[in-house]
Amino acid sequence: MRSIYLKTFLMTLLAASVSWGSIMTASAEAQDGNHNSVLSDKGRDYYEARGEIVWEVKTEEKVIALTFDDGPNPVQTAQILDLLKQYDARATFFVVGRRMEKFPDLARREVAEGHELANHTYSHRYFKKSTPIDQIRQEIVKNQQLITSITGQKPHLFRPPGGFYNDNVVKASRDAGYLTVLWSWHQDTKDWSSPGVNKIVRKVLDNARNGDIVLFHDHVERNPQTVEALKQILPELKQRGFRFVTVSELLNFNKLESVHN
């Protein structure tokens, strides 16, 4: 009788272990390198091979693209622009429409100083797999119209809030005339979570590679640390010989290398 009970107990324990392992595996896969869970219909290889999502660019040139999400912010964005100007750096700002409505002069300043504006939706809504494609498209188009009306320029790069992507997101982006851009997985600074200035600095400097797309935020709700981190990151990368380019400029390096090869 004891052996029967023991066998039953072991089988139950094994089943629980398998179930928990499956949950942990699914959770790990869901993270997929982003600071929020990625809701993807297919893996990175699928979208990257089709040229529908860009994470980074393979190049021998010492170029790197700094990107800033969720702004404009009246304090943080202005300070970041001052630093970028000091180090002759150009960047790409993935702007949120409802914040740009409040601070249109900052968006105009970004363009005037040679930076690139890109689409990060109007309201920064996270897109789930169940989000209808029409709603995704509306968020993109509404922000596009706002960017164009404020700056006179039509953006052509799109980044979904939180890095959430799936077939509907990619299709809505493509239909609206955009290329979806995420970031190098080894260059997610997680500055939105205020991890500490040194952690942000080390994340970028310890992993800096040619063709990287670095994820920063120029709108952080609590205890923003990006500006202080940039005061160390910008001079060090410049000392190493890196040039700071916009994402669109970075994409051109990929095309040039393809031609030469």
Give the active site residues.
Answer: 69, 217
Q: Two tokens at 131? A: 């989000």
* Residues paired with 119 in a beta bridge: 95, 158
In contact, 82 and 230? CB cutoff 8 Å? no
In contact, 218 and 68? CB cutoff 8 Å? yes
H-helix segments, the chain: 2-31, 44-49, 76-86, 97-102, 104-112, 133-151, 167-175, 197-205, 226-239, 247-260
Q: Two tokens at 142? A: 């509404």
In contact, 220 and 191? CB cutoff 8 Å? yes
| Distance, CA of 217 to chain centre | 9
